[in-house]
Amino acid sequence: MENSYTLSGQIGFYSGKVRDVYYLENQKMVGIASNRISAFDVILPKPIPYKGQVLNQLAAYFLKETASIVPNWLINSPFPNVSYGYLCEPFKVEMVIRGYLAGHAAREYAAGKRMICGVALPDGLKENDKLPQPIITPTTKASEGHDEDITKADIIKNGIVTESDYEVLEKYTYALYKKGVEMANEKGLILVDTKYEFGKLNNQIMLIDEVHTPDSSRYFYAEGYQKRQQEGKQQEQLSKEFVRQWLIANGFQGKEGQQIPEMNDEKACEISNRYIQLFEKITGKVFEPFIIPNDFENELNVFLK
């Protein structure tokens, strides 16, 4: 995607899967959340209305709520789809933490694997069962293509993260997940699994990227969870997993030679409504759609000055 704006003090630009990132002088950056949606590490052709605003506002909400646990990159969110903060050097791993057997882990388990990212899982689990205790199943952070499962031992052995830094990442990951679980429970939700990304600024480890959003996390409704598990029914979700399931049902898992199914307006609106529903459920606030003004670039630059 082309650089849409020219910002004051801009020295670089990167278009990610869902965000456009503007690198600024003095170790600062601006992230603009787009309405792009990705699944299986592929950007789907059709944008989702208001998705970027939902992600950005949820991320800002959780970054503020967890700032006492771990320092983070966010300085301000001047517009509903914009975040402004510190530019950190990212660790090349994603810290995935799971409290339940769901998503990728459930698919691996169903295929017969009992060891995921070096973590042993017991026999006899069903999809969406609660695990004996939360587990960290890290992945590599790929610049292009698919992220790959990796063990803690290999991360340290290959020098991706030093042992001392990894211990800090683990500590932060468990603490953040505990806080996320507590916040979800207060709203009648279960935080099933999530991922965190970390970086360094002036040798300080900081939380970066988004936190506890439907793109980085999986939520179930707490009410009826046990009954649905006992009856072998699918859990009611507020996450991006239903998008992955729709793609799987239409023959796409991001593998070579597979065709991305066409998404109609009705499906895009359904996805948008689910994102908005999660925002309102988790924050207790009414979602107010933000229409990007024609002079948005000028307004951004006024803020930056």
Could you tell me the residue range of the domain that residue 224 belongs to? 90-241
112 and 233 together in one domain: yes
Copy the structure tokens of residue 266: 């009705």
- Residue range 5-32: mean pLDDT, rounded: 94
Q: Residue 142: what pLDDT?
A: 65
Q: Residue 215: what pLDDT?
A: 84
265 and 207 together in one domain: no
**What distance in Å separates the CA atoms of residue 73 and residue 171, rounded to the nearest whole number?**
18
110 and 206 together in one domain: yes
Q: Which of 223, 181, 176 is nearest to 195 (CA)?
A: 176
Percent of the chain residues topping a pLDDT of 90: 80
Residue 162 has pLDDT above 90, yes or no: yes
The CATH number of residue 96's host domain is: 3.30.470.20
Provide DSSP, 102-124: -HHHHHHHHTT--EETTEE--TT
Q: Residue 236: what pLDDT?
A: 87
Q: Which of 203, 220, 241 is the last residue of a domain?
A: 241
pLDDT digits (tens, 9 = 90+) for 102-128: 989 999 999 999 999 999 999 999 999
Q: Residue 278: what pLDDT?
A: 85
Residue type, 280: E
Please report, in angstroms and rounded to a whole number, the separation of the first and last CA atoms in the chain: 26
pLDDT digits (tens, 9 = 90+) for 231-274: 999 998 877 777 888 999 999 998 888 999 999 999 999 999 98
- The number of folded domains in the chain is 2
**What distance in Å separates the CA atoms of residue 29 and residue 91, rounded to the nearest whole number?**
17
Q: Residue 146: what pLDDT?
A: 60
pTM of the predicted model as reported, rounded to 2 decimal places? 0.89
